[in-house]
Amino acid sequence: MKKVLTTCPYCGTGCMFYLVVDDDGTLVGVEPSNEHVVAKGQLCVKGWNAYHFVNHPDRLTQPMIRRNGKMEPASWDEALNLVVSKFKETQAKHGNDSVAFFSSAKTTNEENYLMMKLARAVFKTNNVDHCARLCHSSTVLGLAATFGSGAMTNSISCMEQADCILVTGSNTTEQHPLIGSRIIENVTNNGAKLIVADNRKIRLARLADIHVRWKNGTDVAFLNGIMNVIISEGLEDKEFIKTRTENYEELKKIIADYPPERAAEICGITPKEIVDVARMFAAADKAMIVYSMGITQHTHGVDNVKSCANLAMLTGNIGLPGTGVNPLRGQNNVQGACDMGALNGVFSGYQKVVDPTTREKFEKAWSVENLPAEPGLTITTAIDAAAEGKLKALYIMGENPMMSDPDQNHVREAMEKLEFIVVQDIFPTPTSEYADVILPAASYAEKNGTFTSTERRVQPVRKAIEPVGQSRTDWEILCDVAQRAGYDGMKYNSASEIMDEVATVTPIYGGVSYERIDQVGLQWPCLDKDHPGTPVLHSGKFARGLGMFSPAAYLPSKELPDEQYPFVLSTGRCYFHFHTGTMTRRSQMLDREERFPYVEISIEDAKELGIYDRAWIYVATRRGEVKVMAHVTDVAKKGVLFMPFHFEEGPANLLTINALDPIAKIPEYKVCAAKIRSAE
């Protein structure tokens, strides 16, 4: 047996583990790593099962081309030549921005860097983006505006040092299980205070000192209410505000409109709950905010994020261990895909495309001219542009928009209108059904590279087995495309050579190399080869100099319940499955735990409507209707339905609304109006 130390391909917690390979080169299991700083000898159920899907018979093993409407096997030469000629033809006819590239938070840093290089240097478009748009784009923009850097400010180990943790819009024990364990340990072993703000009675809520179950979408009012109490009771950190921040007067002005009575009314809770949370948070020596999709996925996602940042600055909880604003990044490499510039407006290291000196720097480094200057389309606006017939060709690497983007009928329309679609994946998906060319990619177990976890830790991904069938690593495929398109600057002998190039053009990764990240990785910013990495950001000084208070007024969600659609529908995930299910639903151990699409409904609502547990019901919104199983549970609050988006046969995104935050362009997955009826 051979054991290969690598990084988990599921969530952003970034546990490292060993892939176990038997003598004839077959992947047979996973073993945790006792030495790893985050995993500490443990894994969650997805980590333990992260080898099953690799050998699944459904793996894509050979390139395919659509001929006369039917997908047929093709050679790599045929497939890649077709991709390049179609993209060039489309651009010649309709301009450079008539094509777009979806990069992937499932793939490595090196691959994301190459995808954005391919889009910008070779095809001269900034139409490149990835699923962070659907996830933490509000964080990237909201924290960049307030702190100057859009990443988790602290480290996972800080969860054990905080005296008070406010968890809001994060189902931590299910979605970032090993981070959830840290929080539980701190609460049970050290008596840290825990405030859970989530209207579902999630596992952490059962342990919390205070659990607030306000209405979905009212976070700005809630956080403003807390800040109002803190200021009116004189609990703010005056020294921190004076020396480290600006724009405090503006904050005070807006916050004055949210006395606890008014905030509580908007949120549907009592003023006392707001006062209690404010006092508990402000009283702690080291208080930390942990959040995830409940904060970001709203038409006011950026305002929510800024409000979290305001609260942390108001109480001086930034720049020290055990404090901070901690967005838990979702995908295994979504932090890295952002860092690498797989976003419409930035090169790697968040260097802006609109800045002429930055463009000049990349033109020189890549030996090209005329890099495009205007930010391009995002995932969400690219789908809109395709539906309008403006976008003509799309290259999708490791994304499944038919299942993950809002309003599936709208996405279908976009897919049908696109003239040419390339899908590069490890499995067939509802998206690949629309492909004109399918390129089979090697999985994480079959390649070298790096993933960057939520705590900004760059960690190794190592090849344990040979790629299945004719599949090739994403980075080799992208280099091949670039060469066939006539570009010479994308030739590498190894993934490590790509990281060396990343380090030369990306200051925050300046000191990252494969040698240095060998065992436990390195946390960026890591500016040069002697820099030790940075566990806590903004110590002494914010990345932007002074922290910028950025107050926001409460805005209601786009589509609220009414007589016709009386429920709030909120969507998200469960413990056993990951996203669109391409991998977890092909792991027999995981799939048998949660086999059917379902919706959580409160005991009160179920009683009223005569719906019993495990009954089949229809959930409908203005966009469509799906049949799912009812989970009648005290996790759900009266009036609120919660549905995971893992199931192709009951797709939550047939129901969701395509309403976007005006700045971040993130969809409002967490709130829309719905109704239900029995299916039996």
Residues 130-189 that bind ligand SF4 (CB under 6 A): 177-178
Binder of residue 359, out of Mo ion, ligand SF4, ligand MGD, none (CB less than 5 to 8 A by kind): none
The contact set with ligand MGD (CB under 6 A) reads 11, 46, 104, 106-107, 131, 134-135, 168-171, 174-176, 197-200, 202, 216-217, 219, 292-295, 297, 330-331, 397-401, 404, 424-427, 429, 441, 443-444, 474, 570-573, 575, 577-580, 582-583, 645, 652-653, 656, 669-670
**Nearest distance, CB of residue 515 and ligand MGD, angstroms:** 24
Binding mask 3-32 for ligand SF4 (x = CB under 6 A): -----x-xx-xxx-----------------
**Nearest distance, CB of residue 106 and ligand MGD, angstroms:** 4
Q: C-alpha angle with apex 231: 220 to 299, nearest 5 degrees?
A: 10
Binder of residue 163, out of ligand MGD, ligand SF4, Mo ion, none (CB less than 5 to 8 A by kind): none
Binder of residue 8, out of Mo ion, ligand SF4, ligand MGD, none (CB less than 5 to 8 A by kind): ligand SF4
Which position's Cβ is nearest ligand SF4?
Answer: 47
Binder of residue 180, out of ligand MGD, ligand SF4, Mo ion, none (CB less than 5 to 8 A by kind): none
135 touches Mo ion (CB under 5 A): yes
Two tokens at 644?
Answer: 């995971």
If DSSP codes are grouped into helix, strand and coil, which group holds residue 547? strand
Binder of residue 559, out of ligand SF4, ligand MGD, Mo ion, none (CB less than 5 to 8 A by kind): none
Strand order in the sheet with 449-452: 449-452, 457-461, 522-523
**Nearest distance, CB of residue 135 and Mo ion, angstroms:** 3
Cβ neighbours for 641, distance < 8 A, ≥ 6 positions apart: 567, 568, 569, 570, 599, 600, 601, 619, 674, 676
**d(C-alpha 478, C-alpha 612), whole Å:** 51
**Nearest distance, CB of residue 301 and Mo ion, angstroms:** 13
**d(C-alpha 17, C-alpha 41), whole Å:** 9
Beta bridge partners of 545: 542
Cβ neighbours for 181, distance < 8 A, ≥ 6 positions apart: 42, 173
Q: What is the DSSP letter of 526?
A: -
Of 442, 519, 508, nearest in space to 473 by CA: 442
Which listed residue (177, 260, 330, 341) binds Mo ion by CB under 5 A?
A: 330
**d(C-alpha 6, C-alpha 33), whole Å:** 10
**Nearest distance, CB of residue 216 and ligand MGD, angstroms:** 4
Q: Using CB under 6 A, which of the segments 42-50, 125-133, 404-412, 507-515 binds ligand SF4?
A: 42-50
**Site size with Mo ion, rule: CB under 5 A:** 2
Instruction: Give the DSSP per-residue string, 339-351.
Output: HTT-BTTB-GGG-
If DSSP codes are grouped into helix, strand and coil, which group holds residue 516? coil
**d(C-alpha 573, C-alpha 466), whole Å:** 32
Give the residue with the Cβ less far from ligand SF4, 13 or 570: 13
**d(C-alpha 228, C-alpha 278), whole Å:** 9
Residue 259: cis peptide before it, omega within 30 degrees of 0: no
Give the residue with the Cβ less far from ligand SF4, 13 or 443: 13
**Nearest distance, CB of residue 274 and ligand MGD, angstroms:** 14
Give the residue with the Cβ less far from Mo ion, 135 or 264: 135
